[in-house]
Structure 1
Amino acid sequence: MSKNLQMNPENKDQKQNIPFNSLSPVSDPEKHKFYCDSLEWALSNRKEKDIKNIALSGTYGSGKSSILKTFQETNKNENLKFLNISLATFKEEKKNDTDRYAHLRSENINSDKLSKNDQLRLVELSILQQIFYHEEYDNIPDSRFKKIRSLNPQEVQETTWLLFGLISVLYTFFNFHFLRTLINLPEPKIWFAYTIQGLLAIGGLVLSFYFLRAVVGFSQKLTISKLNFQNLEIQVADKIDKSILNNHLDEILYFFEVTEYNVVIIEDLDRFEQTEIFTKLREINLLINNSKSINRTVTFIYAIRDEMFKDKDRTKFFDFIIPVIPVINYSNSNEQLTRALEKFEYSLSTELIDQVAFYVDDMRLLYNIVNEFHIYFQKFKGEKYQNKLFAIIVYKNIYPEDFVMLGKNQGILYKNLVENKLSWINDASRKIEEENSRLKMELDNLERVLPKNLEELRRIYLMEYMKNANNLSHFRIANKNYSVEQMLEDENFENLKNGSISYRENQYNREFNFKFSDVESRLDPDKSYSDRKTEIENKNAGRVKDIRVRLKQNEEENRRIKNAKIKYLLKNKKISLSSQPSKQEQLIILLVRNGYIAEDYLNYISYFYPGSITERDHWFLMNVRNEMDSKFDYKLDEVENVIKKISESEFERRSVLNYSLLDQFLKSKKFPLKKELFFKQLSNESNDSVKFIYSYIKEDKNSGVLIKTLCKSWIGIWKFIEEDSSLTDGEKSNYLSLILNNAEIEDIENIASTSQLEAVLNAKSDFLSIVSDSKRQIEIIDEFDLKFNSLKWDESRKEIREYIYSMNNYEINPPMLRIMIKEFGEYREEDFNHSNYAAIKLSGCDRLIEYVEKNIEEYINAVYLKLKDNFKEKQAYLLKLLNNSNIKKTSKESIITQTETLLPSLSELEDSKELSDFLIENLKIEPTWKNVIFKYQENENKFSETLTGFLNNPKITKNLVKDSIPTDKELLSFRRDFLLNNKILDELYISYLKTVPLAFKELSFESLSFKKVEALVNELKLSFNQENYNKLRSSFSPIHLIFIILNISEFFKIYSEIVLSESDLAEILGNSMLTDSHKIKLIEKFEADNAISDQKALSLIGKMALKHKELKLSDSNISSILIKSALKTNEKIELFMNNLTPFDKEFITSFLSSLGGDYKQLNEKGPMPYFKNTALLLSFFQYLKQEGKISKIKEKKDHIQVTTFRK
C-alpha cells in the first residue's frame, strides 16, 4: 500500500509545475514594500506617537491579508510578537453548539436573524477563543479557560504516584485500629512500625495540601450556571447577557500579562458591519496599555474595508490608517484574469473574459475560478468548448448556491434558461395555431365556393331573373335589347344591379317587379353578390394557394419555434428578464445571450459514459449542439442512434454535415423529416454545404443517388453551379451530366424554371454526347421543347436532324437558319446577308418560313437585326415587315434604323400613325411634298415637331425645293400653315418660299421671326394692303419700308390709307431700289400735307431738290432744309440761290448763323472775313450786299474779302 502511495520524481515535478493558485494570502515583499514600511514606522513610533490602534483600510479583496502576512514574514524587529485573530470562519463556527453559549444558537433561533447584541456577543466569544487557544496551556496555567491537552509519559507517571500516595495515606489515616493503638500508646517493640505509619501520614498531608490547592485553583476558574440533582437545584451564575469581553476582561489582562504579544492583528472583523466591536476592542486596548502588570505597549492592527465607517467616524477609532490600493477591481479584473489564465495556455475568447471580468472583483475568487476551470477542463477534455465550460465555472463561483440548484432543475438560472423559454414557445405556438385555425376556416369556405368564376355566378343571378319574369326573351337597357350572353358583360350586369333595366315579353316591354337585393336574398340570405364575387376573385387570384403556402410557413415556423435556442430568443428580444434585472440576472443575460451557457449545460456539469453511442459519436454531437464544425469525413459508429439524438432544428446547422450521416440517409428511408431538413441544409447554397457536396461527389460515393435526391430539394442547384466561378467548364459539364442523367424529369423542369438550364441546353452543341441515352435525349427535348442555338450538325444522325427541323427544336438565329436553308431549301449568301427577310421568304423552306412567321418578333431581334450587312432590304419586303402587326413597334423602329432602304410613300403603311414619325425622324422616307402633305394631314392639319424636324434637314430641303408645292385649292391651309411655321430654320425657310406659288392677302405672320417676315416681303408672298402694312410697321419695322419699296405702285394707290412718318420717308428716300421719279412723287405727296422737321429727311429732300430743279417745295420746307438739314455749306448756298424768294433779313441772319464759321461773322459789325473765290459764293455775297447784309465785296485772285457794316 505504501508502495502505491510513493510518487515518481518525474510525476512529482510535473504536478508541482501545475499552475494552480493558492487562495491564501501571498507574501510579496517587493509588491508590498511601501505598506510594510508604513506599518514598521507606525510600530516603531507607537510609544512616541501614541499609536495603539492601526487600520489597514481597503476594499474587499484588495490584498490586506497578503500585506499583513508579508509584514510578519519580513519583520526584522525581534521585539514584535504577533497575535493573529481572524473572523473569516465565524459563520461556520457559530453552528457548533457544544460550547457553553450554545443556547444562543438553539434550534428556535435562526442564526441569520440573531439580534444585534447576540451577534456581537458571539463575535466577542470568537475573539476570546482565538486569543486563548492561540497560546500553549503551560503559558497560561491560571486561566479559567482550559483546553484538552495531551500529557507526556512523565506527567502521567507523576500523576499516578500522586494519586496512589493519596489513596494510601487516606487508607492508613482512616484505619480505626491504627488510631486506637496510637492513643493507647503502643509498646516500644512496635515503635518502628508506628514511625513508618507516621511518615506516611505526613506525606499524605503534604499530598492533600497540593491536591486541595489544585481544587481551589480549579474552582476559581469555574462558573457554574446550573446544577440539577433530581429535585435539588443550585444556580451559580448567569452572565451571558453581559459583554463577553467585559465579563472576561481579567482573563484578557492575565493573558497579556503572562505572554509577550505586543501586536494583535485582527482580520475580517468588518464583515459583520458592527462598529460597536471596534469600540470594545479599543477599550480593551486602552486597558491593556494602562495595566501596570503588563507594562508594555500593545498595538492592535485591524484589516478593515473602506466602507466600514461612514463620514469621519473611522478617525475616531484608529490612531493610524494605511490605505490599500486594490490589486483588482472591475476595471482591471479582465487583465488579471487573462494573466492568470495565460499559464494554462487556453484559447478562451477575449470577449468572454472581458465580459465576465466585470463580475469578478476579488483576487481569491479569480484564482479559484482559474483553478476550478483547469480541473474541470482536464476532466472534460473538450478543447473546443472552453468558453462554455469557463462560463459555467464563473457562474458556479459567483453564485454557487444557484449552480447547485441548476443540477436539480431549479433556481434562477434554470428559470431563465429553461422555464422562460418553454413559456415563450407555448405562447408563440398557441398564436400560430390560432392563425392556422382561422386560415383553415377561410380555406374551407373558399373551397366550398361553387361558382368557379364570375361568369357562372352571373348566370345564376340571371337565371333567377328569368324564372321570375314570364316569357322573358331579352333584357333591355336604354331602349336596346340584350341577350343573356350580352348581360354577362361587366357594364350590362352593373345596370342590372342598379335596377336601370327592363325586359322584353313577347311584343311588350315590362318592368321587373322586384329588386336585385330580392334576388340576392333568394339565392343566399347570408351572402350578397359582392361577397360571393370577392370569394371567387380571391380564389381565382390565388388566395387558396396563398393560404396553403402560409399554413406551410406556419408549420415551419412552429417547428423552428419549438427548436429555438435561448440565446437567439434573448438576442431578438423574444424573451426578456425583469425591467430592472439584478446583478445575477445581468450575468445570466450576458452568458446566455452570447451562447456561453445554453440548453446543453448538463454536458458541462456532468460526465459522459458510453452507451447507445460511442465517445467518438458523443464528441460529434457536442460539436453539433455547439455549432462547431467537424471534418466531413469524421467517422461515426452508431449512426442511427446519433441521428436520433440530433434534434430537428440542429439538422439546419452546418455542423451536422457528415459523410456518415449522408450515407445513412441515402440508403435508408427512416427519419424522413430529419432527412428533409438535412437536404434542406445541403440546399442552402452556403459555402460549407457546397464544399460538402463537391467533396462527396469527388469521393464518387453514391453521387448519382445524391444528385437525384438533392434535385428534389434544391431547385436552384444548376443556377448555383453555373454561377460558381470556382468550377471549371469541365466540372460544370460533369455536374450537368449528373443532373440530366439521374434527376427526375419533373425535378429537371423545376430546376430549369429557376435557372438558365434551358438556355444552356439550347447552347450545348454537344448535348447529344452529354445525355448518353437516346430515349432520355428525346424525353428532355420534348419536355423542354429545346431550341438548340448550335449543334454539331454534321456529327448527328440524319433522322435526328430531320426531327429537330420538323419539330422546330432549333433557335431562330443566323447560324441555325443558314444550316436549315442550306439543307432543306435554296440558299443565296448575298441575299441572306443583305436582305435576309426576302431571302427567307424566297428560300422555299415552308416549315422554316412558317416557323419564322409564327415567331416573327424573335426572328427580328435574333436574326434580322443581328446581321450587320442586312441594310438593303427590298422595298416590298420592308413594307411587309412594317405592316406586320405581330412585330412590336420597337422592333419595327429598329428595322427602320438599320435599313438604308427608303419607303416611297407613307400612305402605303397600314398604320402610318405608329411609324410615320419614326420614319420621318430617321429620314427613311423619300423626300416628296406628297409625303410631307400626307403627314401634315395625318396630324390633323398640323405641322408636328417631327415633320418640322424633317423639313429642317438641309438634305431634305435640297430635294423638296426641286418641286413647287401643289396649287390645289384644298392645299391652301397647308401652304398657309407652312408659311406660318416659325420652327422651320430661317435659312431654310427662305429656300422653301420659292416653292410657294401664290401671295397671301391675309396672313397672321405676327408670330414669325423677323427673318421669316423679311423673306415673306422680299419673296412677295404678301399682298400689299393696309392690314399687312400696319402689321409690318408695328411689329417688324423697318420691313414695312421694304414692303413699300417692293410694292411702290400698290402703295401710291392707297397712299392716303398708309401711315408714313418722317423717319419712314427718310429711309425710303435713302433706298437705292426706288427710282428718283418715285421719290419725287413721294416727296411731293408727303410735303404737301406735312411740315418736315427730320434732319435726315430734310437732307435727302434737299439733295433731290438740288438734283431735280423741277421739284417744287414749299417755302417752309425749303427754310427747314436750309436751317436744319445736314447738307454741306455749298449745297445749302446752292439751294438758297436756286430758290431766291423774298427772304427777310431775320431769316438770312439765321441762315448765316446755321452755316457757322466765317459765315456767322457776317452777322456782326466790323469783321472782314475771307472766303474761297467761287462763282457760287460770289453771287451769294452779291445777293447779300444787295439785301444790305454786307457793305463791300473785294474780289481777289483766289479769295473774296467781305466787309460788314461797322455801325
Structure 2
Amino acid sequence: MVNRKYFDALNYHPLSPTTITNKTDSEEFSRIEPYINNLEEATKNPTVKNIAVFGKFGAGKTTVINSFLNQHKEDLHKWSTFLSHETGSNRPVKPDKIRPLQLSTATFTRTMMQEHNRSNDQWIEIERNLVQQMLYGPKNKVLRNSKFRKIEQTGYLRWFIAWLSLLTFLITWFLLIGSPRSLSIFFDKGDLIIAQKFFYMPLLISIGILTTQAFWYFPRYFNSAKIGIGKNELIVTDKHSAFNQYLDEIIYFFSRTKYNIVIFEDLDRADDLNIFEHLRELNQILNSNQLIRESYKVEENHPAIRFVYAVKEDLFDNQMLASHRKATEKASLNKDDKYTNDDESDSDIAEATTKFFDWTLTILPRVSSINAPDFLMQAFSKPTDEFKNYLRAIGGFFEDVRVLENSLNDLKLCLKLQQGNGLNVEKLFTALLFKNGFPTEYQKYLNNIGSLSKLIRTRDFAEQHSKSLRETLKILQSRKETLVKYSQRAVVDHYFYIFMTAGAKTTSRIESQDQVITIRSIKNMSFSSLQRLYTYLKEKNMPQFSSQVQR
C-alpha cells in the first residue's frame, strides 16, 4: 500500500515559461531580479545593439525575459493598443519605452532526426520562417503598402455597405440604362429629366464604393505575395538570404510597427552559425537606415533596434568545432590545401563571443544534478527518510527541471487514476523518470528492443545463474570449514605427540610461572589453548621450548 501522506500534496507543474512577479512569488522573483536589472541596464546603454542571454535548455531564459517585459506591461498595453488602432499616421513614440517583438524557430525535430543529413543551407529556411513571423503578425491596416496581405475577418457593417451598394447599383442601372422607360410610369415628362439626374447620384456613389471594395479585396487573391516555394509565390532562391530578398519589406515593417527590441529564441537549436551572422548584419542595416531612425526619432548615437538572443552558452564552441571538422575533411580531400590549424582554443571561442555580442547575461540553472534531489524533496509533503534516500539516489541522474516537473505531473496523474492502491511509488516514479528523461530508450523498450529490454529478457537466466553460483559458494564454504577443522586437529595431535615424547602424561598439566597460561590436561588440549601457549612462549623469548615446539 502506498503511503499517501507525502504524495497527496503533489501539484501539477506547467512546463511552459512563466512570468514571475513580486506578487505571485516573491522568493523566486528575488532570485531572478538581478537578471532583470541587468537587462534593464543593457537596454539603456546607447552602445549596445546585440544582447545575449546565455543558459542551458531549461535554465529559465524565457522566464527571465518574460518577467523583464512584465516590468514594462503598461508600455506594452499602450503599444498593443497603438498597433490595433494605427491607420497610417506617423505617430511619434518615446524612445525609452519597451516595444518588444518575440520570434522563435521550433527546429527540435529537424535537428534531432536529420542530424546525419543536415543541409548546409538550413539558415535559408530559418530566415524565411523569421520573415514570415514578422510580416504576417500586424494587421493589414498597419502595413498598408506591404505586398503581403493577410486574410482578415470582414465586419458586418462593411458587408452591409457592400451589399447595399451592389443593390443600389443594380436598381439605378436598371432604371437609367437597362430600362429607362420604366421611369415614365412614375414621373411626368417634365419631372423625368430631374428624376434621371437624381438617380445618377446613387449610381455613381455605389460604383465608387464597389470599386474601393474591389481594390481592397481583390489583391489579396490575385496580387498578394507569399514567402515560400512555388510558381505563384515569391521564392527564396537557393544560396540567397531571405533578409536580403525582402529587406525593403523588413525596413517598412519596422518603420511602421516601431519595435525597438527583437527577441530571438531557439535559434541555437538549428546548429548553424550563418543565421547569427546574418542577423547581426540585419541589425546594422536597420540601425543605419534613415527612414527607421526618423520614424523612431532616436538620438544620433543611440540604436533604434536592439536584438536579444536567448541561446546556450556553448553556441560558438559547437559551431567553431564543427567548422574546424569541415575544414579538416576538406583539407584531407585536397592535398594542395595546407590546413594546419589546431582546434580552436577557449580564448578563441571567448573572443568570438565578446566580438559578436555587445552585452552578455548568463542565467544560472535553478536545478542541476547536484540539487535535483532537494528539488524533488520539496515537491513532496514530509517524505520519509527511506523515500528521501531514494530521491537522493535517483535525482542525481537528472538536471533538466522540465523533465523532473513532467515526471511529477505524470506521477500525480497515475496515482489519481489508480487511487494509490497496490502501487510502489519508488518503482513507478523511477519508470516515469526513465520515460521522460530517456524517451528514445523508453520507446525501444516498448518495442521490445534496446539494452533495457534485453536485460529484462535475460533476467530469468541471470537469476538462475546467480542461484547456481550461490549453491556453489555454499559447498565451497562447507569444504573450507571441514579443512580448517581437520587442520586444527592435526596441529593439536602433533604437539600432543611432542609433549608425550618429552615424558609427559595424558593427565599432565602445563602452567606458566606467572600463571597466565594453564593447560589442565594435555589430553584435553584444544587448538585455541595451544595457540595461546605458543604466543605466550614467543613473547617470553624461550628458544628451547620454541625450537622444540616448532619441529
Q: What TM-score, normalized to structure 2?
A: 0.61
> Quick check: 1:244 aligned with 2:203?
no
Code of the aligned partner of 2:99 = K
Code of the aligned partner of 2:147 = R
Residues 61 and 361, structure 1, Cα contact 8 Å, conserved in 2: no
Code of the aligned partner of 1:73 = N
CA distance, structure 1, for counterparts of residue 276 and residue 258 of structure 2: 23
Other-structure match for 2:101: 83
Other-structure match for 2:200: 198
Residues 56 and 304, structure 1, Cα contact 8 Å, conserved in 2: yes
Code of the aligned partner of 2:464 = I
- From 9, 16, 23, the equivalent of 1:24 is 16
Other-structure match for 2:154: 151
Residues 166 and 250 of structure 1, relative CA distance in 2, 3 Å threshold: farther
> Quick check: 1:317 aligned with 2:315?
no
Q: How does 1:934-1083 map to 2 (within 5 A)?
A: none
CA distance, structure 2, for counterparts of residue 265 and residue 921 of structure 1: 102
CA distance, structure 2, for counterparts of residue 147 and residue 192 of structure 1: 45
Kindly state the Cα deviation for residue 34 of structure 1 after the two structures are TM-superposed: 0.9
Residues 269 and 198 of structure 1, relative CA distance in 2, 3 Å threshold: same
Kindly state the Cα deviation for residue 407 of structure 1 after the two structures are TM-superposed: 3.6
Other-structure match for 2:437: 398
Other-structure match for 2:264: 266
Q: Deviations over 1:55-112 (max 9, x none)?
A: 011222222112112211123783111222223x4457x89xxxxxxxxxxxxxx866
Other-structure match for 1:291: 289
Q: Deviations over 1:529-582 (max 9, x none)?
A: xxxxxxxxxxxxxxxxxxxxxxxxxxxxxxx618x6xxx99xx9x9xxxxxxxx
CA distance, structure 1, for counterparts of residue 374 and residue 405 of structure 2: 13
Other-structure match for 2:406: 368
Residues 61 and 363, structure 1, Cα contact 8 Å, conserved in 2: yes
Residues 267 and 158 of structure 1, relative CA distance in 2, 3 Å threshold: same
Code of the aligned partner of 2:152 = R
Q: Deviations over 1:413-464 (max 9, x none)?
A: 212221x446x56xxxxxxxxxxxxxxxxxxxxxxxxxxxxxxxxxxxxxxx
Residues 264 and 210 of structure 1, relative CA distance in 2, 3 Å threshold: same
CA distance, structure 2, for counterparts of residue 225 and residue 327 of structure 1: 40
Residues 348 and 387, structure 1, Cα contact 8 Å, conserved in 2: no
CA distance, structure 1, for counterparts of residue 375 and residue 507 of structure 2: 86
Residues 32 and 67, structure 1, Cα contact 8 Å, conserved in 2: yes
Q: Deviations over 1:665-688 (max 9, x none)?
A: xxxxxxxxxxxxxxxxxxxxxxxx
Q: Deviations over 1:499-529 (max 9, x none)?
A: xxxxxxxxxxxxxxxxxxxxxxxxxxxxxxx
Kindly state the Cα deviation for residue 315 of structure 1 after the two structures are TM-superposed: 2.2
Q: Deviations over 1:809-857 (max 9, x none)?
A: xxxxxxxxxxxxxxxxxxxxxxxxxxxxxxxxxxxxxxxxxxxxxxxxx
Code of the aligned partner of 2:412 = H
CA distance, structure 1, for counterparts of residue 503 and residue 353 of structure 2: 106
CA distance, structure 1, for counterparts of residue 8 and residue 147 of structure 2: 46
- From 52, 60, 70, the equivalent of 1:55 is 52
SS of the residue aligned with 1:303?
strand
CA distance, structure 2, for counterparts of residue 66 and residue 42 of structure 1: 17
CA distance, structure 2, for counterparts of residue 154 and residue 226 of structure 1: 37
Q: How does 1:587-626 map to 2 (within 5 A)?
A: none
CA distance, structure 2, for counterparts of residue 411 and residue 151 of structure 1: 56
Residues 169 and 255 of structure 1, relative CA distance in 2, 3 Å threshold: farther
Kindly state the Cα deviation for residue 208 of structure 1 after the two structures are TM-superposed: 5.1
> Quick check: 1:66 aligned with 2:69?
no
Other-structure match for 1:36: 36
SS of the residue aligned with 1:207?
helix
**Further displaced range: 134-143 or 35-44:** 134-143
Other-structure match for 2:315: 308
Kindly state the Cα deviation for residue 375 of structure 1 after the two structures are TM-superposed: 2.0
Residues 122 and 272, structure 2, Cα contact 8 Å, conserved in 1: no
> Quick check: 1:377 aligned with 2:415?
yes
CA distance, structure 2, for counterparts of residue 265 and residue 919 of structure 1: 102
CA distance, structure 1, for counterparts of residue 436 and residue 371 of structure 2: 19
Residues 229 and 236, structure 2, Cα contact 8 Å, conserved in 1: no
Code of the aligned partner of 1:124 = E
Residues 403 and 921 of structure 1, relative CA distance in 2, 3 Å threshold: closer
Code of the aligned partner of 1:261 = Y
Q: How does 1:472-551 map to 2 (within 5 A)?
A: none
Kindly state the Cα deviation for residue 31 of structure 1 after the two structures are TM-superposed: 1.0
Residues 347 and 386, structure 1, Cα contact 8 Å, conserved in 2: no
Residues 316 and 194 of structure 1, relative CA distance in 2, 3 Å threshold: same
- From 112, 128, 131, the equivalent of 1:128 is 131
Code of the aligned partner of 1:376 = C
Residues 90 and 126, structure 1, Cα contact 8 Å, conserved in 2: no
Residues 150 and 212 of structure 1, relative CA distance in 2, 3 Å threshold: closer
Residues 132 and 227, structure 2, Cα contact 8 Å, conserved in 1: no
Kindly state the Cα deviation for residue 132 of structure 1 after the two structures are TM-superposed: 3.9
CA distance, structure 1, for counterparts of residue 357 and residue 501 of structure 2: 108
CA distance, structure 2, for counterparts of residue 335 and residue 68 of structure 1: 26
Code of the aligned partner of 1:396 = K
Larger radius of gyration: 1
Residues 333 and 357, structure 1, Cα contact 8 Å, conserved in 2: yes
Q: Deviations over 1:357-400 (max 9, x none)?
A: 23311111121122212222333415772211111011010122
CA distance, structure 1, for counterparts of residue 114 and residue 441 of structure 2: 21
CA distance, structure 2, for counterparts of residue 917 and residue 281 of structure 1: 106
Other-structure match for 1:596: none
Residues 147 and 192 of structure 1, relative CA distance in 2, 3 Å threshold: same
Other-structure match for 2:369: 330
SS of the residue aligned with 1:301?
strand
Relative CO higher for 1 or 2, CA cutoff 8 Å, sep ≥ 6? 2
Kindly state the Cα deviation for residue 32 of structure 1 after the two structures are TM-superposed: 0.8
CA distance, structure 1, for counterparts of residue 195 and residue 264 of structure 2: 65
Q: How does 1:714-1113 map to 2 (within 5 A)?
A: 918=505
SS of the residue aligned with 1:23?
coil
Residues 369 and 397, structure 1, Cα contact 8 Å, conserved in 2: yes
SS of the residue aligned with 2:314?
helix
Residues 61 and 362, structure 1, Cα contact 8 Å, conserved in 2: yes
Residues 377 and 389, structure 1, Cα contact 8 Å, conserved in 2: no
Residues 264 and 300, structure 1, Cα contact 8 Å, conserved in 2: yes
Q: Deviations over 1:25-76 (max 9, x none)?
A: 232431111111111011112x3xx211110112222221121122111237
- % identical equivalent positions: 23
Residues 142 and 217, structure 1, Cα contact 8 Å, conserved in 2: no
Structure 1 unaligned regions, length at least 5: 1-14, 96-109, 228-233, 426-559, 575-889, 894-912, 923-1207
CA distance, structure 1, for counterparts of residue 252 and residue 213 of structure 2: 24
Kindly state the Cα deviation for residue 167 of structure 1 after the two structures are TM-superposed: 5.2
Residues 40 and 916 of structure 1, relative CA distance in 2, 3 Å threshold: closer
Other-structure match for 1:517: none
SS of the residue aligned with 1:322?
strand
Q: What is the count of residue pairs matched by the alignment?
A: 398
Residues 191 and 301 of structure 1, relative CA distance in 2, 3 Å threshold: same
Kindly state the Cα deviation for residue 279 of structure 1 after the two structures are TM-superposed: 1.6
Residues 51 and 306, structure 2, Cα contact 8 Å, conserved in 1: yes
Residues 19 and 344, structure 1, Cα contact 8 Å, conserved in 2: no
Kindly state the Cα deviation for residue 190 of structure 1 after the two structures are TM-superposed: 3.1
